[in-house]
Amino acid sequence: RLGNETIKAELGRAAWKVLHTTLARFPEKPTKDESEALRSYIHLFQRLYPCGECAEHFGEVLKQFPPQVDGRNVAAGWGCHVHNVVNKRLKKPQFDCSKIGDFYDCGCADDEKEKKK
Ligand code: FAD
Q: Which one is predicted more confidently, 112 or 65?
A: 65
Residues at CB less than 6 angstroms from ligand 1: 8-9, 12-13, 15-16, 20, 49, 53-54, 57-58, 80, 83-84, 86-87, 90, 92, 95, 100
- The closest of 62, 106, 100 to 80, measured between CA atoms, is 100
CA distances from 24 to 8, 10, 19, 56, 57 (A): 24, 21, 9, 25, 24
- ipTM, interface predicted TM-score of the complex: 0.99
Residues above pLDDT 90, as percent of the chain? 80
- pTM attached to this predicted model: 0.93
Pocket test for ligand 1, best of 11, 16, 73, 98 (most atoms within 8 A of CB): 16
Instruction: Report helix angle 5-24 to 32-48, nearest 10.
Output: 180
Dist. CA 52–CA 63, nearest whole Å? 17
- The closest of 104, 53, 57 to 85, measured between CA atoms, is 57
Task: Tell the residue nearest (CA) to atom 12 of ligand 1.
Answer: 95
pLDDT of residue 67: 98
Amino acid at 41: Y
Domains and CATH numbers, the chain: 5-116 (1.20.120.310)
pLDDT at 114 over 80: no
Beta-carbon count within 10 A of 23 CB? 24
pLDDT tens for 29-75 read 999 999 999 999 999 999 999 999 999 999 999 999 999 999 999 99
pLDDT of residue 116: 52
